Structure 1
C-alpha cells in the first residue's frame, strides 16, 4: 500500500528531519488513546537553529518559514511515535505557536500560518486544526518560533 502522506511529501519536495531528541527532562510525545501530544518543536533547519526576534531582526516571512520547520519536526515526531508509519496519522487536532517577538509586533498569526498552511497543503482537510498563536518575550536558545501539537492517530 502506498503511503499517501509520504508520497505527498515527495511531491512537495520535502524531506522530514529525524525526530529531534528532547533537550531537557521531558519526552518528545505522549500518546493517550488515539491522541498524540507532541512537545514544542523549535525552529531549526538544515543549517541549524533559526534564531531572532520578529519585529526586530526577522520579517514576518522569515518567521513563517521558521514555523514551517517546526511543522516538519512535529511530523517527524508523529512518524517516530507511529513506528515510522505516517499512515496512522488521521488528522491535526491543534497547534499552539509561540513567536519570539517585540512588544509591539502583532503578526503572530501570520507567522504561525507557516506551519498551518503547510499542514493543510500536505494533508488537505485532515490538516485543518484549532490553533493559538501567541507572542513570547523570549524562547529557548533564542529561537524565532516554537510550536506544539495535538494529533489524532490510530
Structure 2
C-alpha cells in the first residue's frame, strides 16, 4: 500500500507546509537523508501555544506533537519528496515548552512518534530525544524536527 493510500485510510489530510519563520530552509537533502527543520504545531489552522504544566494539558501537548509530525510530512511533500521514498524515520527531536516541574516530555513526544508508526509501520520506528525547554518560537507548545532516510539515494 502506498503511503498516500495509508494516509487516506487513516483519514489524514496533510496541512499546507508552513513557510520558515526565520533564515533557514524547511528541508535539506544530503547523503541520502532528509533533514527536516523544527516544525511548529498548527491545530485546525491555528498555532498551538502555551506551556505544559501550566496552561496546556498532556493531551493537548500530545495533539500538538502530532500536528508537528503532520507538518514534517507536509514539508517532505513540499520539498518534492514522495512519501513512498521514505525508507525510515531515523530520529525525531521533540522540544516541549514546559514548566520546570513538568516531566512528561516523552509522553508529549509520543504524539509525533505514534503518528510516524501509524503512517510508516516498522519504518516509522525511530530514535528520539524529548526535551523540556523554557520557551519556543512564537510561544509554541511543542516543536519537532526529523532525520529521514530516503530510498534510492
Q: What TM-score do you get using the length of structure 1 for normalisation?
A: 0.94
Q: CA deviation at 1:4?
A: 1.2
Q: Secondary structure in 1 aligned to 2:34?
A: strand
Partner of residue 20, structure 1: 18
Per-residue deviation, residues 24-65 of structure 1 (Å, max 9, x unmatched) = 101111111211100000111223100110001011111000
CA contact (8 A) 1:99 1:108 kept: yes
RMSD: 1.1
Divergent runs of 4+, >3 A: none
Q: Secondary structure in 1 aligned to 2:145?
A: strand
Whether 1:99 and 2:76 are equivalent positions in the alignment is: no
Q: Which runs of 5+ in 1 are unaligned?
A: none
Q: What TM-score do you get using the length of structure 2 for normalisation?
A: 0.95
| Matched residue count | 151
Partner of residue 140, structure 2: 143
Q: Which runs of 5+ in 2 are unaligned?
A: none
Partners of 1:64 and 1:20 lie apart in 2 by 20
